[in-house]
Structure 1
Amino acid sequence: MATTRGYGGAKYFGYTLVGCYEWLRGARTKVDWHKAIWDSWILPKHRFMGWLIAHKSLHTNSRLKGFGLNVDGMCFLCGQADETQEHLFFECAFSRRRKVKNAMVLSAMYHVWQQRNKSRIEQLVLRPSRIALLINDAMKRRVKERDKRKLNT
């Protein structure tokens, strides 16, 4: 067999190993979630979880049942529907608390804007970890306020 060195390793009759691998793997499509998941600010365990979610690979009860395991397919959190990724993150009563999600997102936006203004006026830039603590503290205060109101009514 005649071999010559080429891009991507040994070349066999005009074909490279890399080229063959890419042909077998198929065309790769560019995904929009890549930068969000593999951002260096994201914790590694969160990156891995995000990757599993993006590939619909979480071992939910429905998926385990589909593998042939003897498990109940119902959601552990609400017990009202099959536990799929879609149900778990978007339909389940446990995770549908959109008010909390909206409050977290808007709190993050508020603190980023505040930081922008501070850095512009005072030329003081806080570390992102400090801003994250401010967001966390603001959310804790809000939850405590809401709990007090519920107890007083």
Structure 2
Amino acid sequence: MSWNWKAICKIKDEFKNGYVNGNWLAEKGGYTIRSGYDWIRYKEHKVGWAKLLWKSWAIPKHKFLSWLILRNAINVKAKLYKHGVCQDEICYLCNTGQETIEHVFQSCEYASLVMVGVCDSLHIPIPTVNGIIWIGRRQWSSLKKRICLAAVMAVYYAVWQPLNQARMDGILLTPSVLVQQIQQILKSRMLSCKVVANVDVNWMSTIM
């Protein structure tokens, strides 16, 4: 029996648990494809950062990478080294620390310079923990949070993309170039904002 057929039979057996006396438990109005999908799929606990991530003004590809980071699903060298894919686990960006997710996006000197440059331009403190969760805990206006979340996610993407590119061609952009690129992205985002509160007007006037 093939693996595919075994998987189909397993799902069929799991669906049997959704019926009692011929009635579908997951949907009062009867079985639907959506209720069947919700029944069979793996359900994880809701996380507090989900709304911060998906409702921010970040570019979609930045959100997706940040989602992978928060789920510890990035293939950094420390992971690859354990599977024998690479010869060492030294961070390619700074050539000193172990290339873990925490190191690359929080403590790496190269990434820190990018984060510091972006945060200085926004006149906000440097996040001491995961930037997304840290911003979510600030007592800032909704607009300021969305812009700063977009900035942090742009930093993550700006660091990760050249890291992978540098592994192939050996060319690594300077942190200052990345900061300038992120500033342009943020300015284009802010130009479409409908600012209401005076505190937001005053803050944005200092960074535009």
> Same fold judged by TM-score > 0.5?
yes
2:23 equivalent in structure 1: 4
Match of 2:58 among 34, 39, 42: 42
**Percent identity (aligned):** 25
Distance 1:47 1:66, change over 3 A: same
Match of 2:120 among 98, 103, 120: 103
Contact residue 78 and residue 93 of structure 1 kept, 8 A: yes
Amino acid aligned to 1:30: K
Distance 1:52 1:71, change over 3 A: farther
Deviations 1:115-134 (A, max 9, x none): xxxxxxxxxxxx954178xx
Amino acid aligned to 2:68: L
1:21 equivalent in structure 2: 40
Amino acid aligned to 2:123: L
> 2: distance between equivalents of 1:95 and 1:41?
22
Distance 1:73 1:128, change over 3 A: closer
3-state SS, counterpart of residue 23 of structure 2 = strand
Distance 1:93 1:128, change over 3 A: closer
Higher relative contact order by CA 8 Å / sep ≥ 6: 1 or 2?
Answer: 2
1:151 equivalent in structure 2: none
Structure showing the higher strand proportion among its residues: 1
> 1: distance between equivalents of 2:116 and 2:191?
24
Shift of 1:102: 2.9
Alignment of 1:4-153 (within 5 A): 4-8=23-27, 10=31, 21=40, 25=42, 28-39=44-55, 41-97=57-113, 99-106=116-123, 128-130=189-191, 138=207
Shift of 1:75: 0.5
TM-score relative to the length of structure 2: 0.43
TM-score relative to the length of structure 1: 0.55
> 1: distance between equivalents of 2:76 and 2:56?
27
**Number of residues of Structure 1 aligned to a counterpart in Structure 2:** 114
- Aligned-CA RMSD value: 3.9
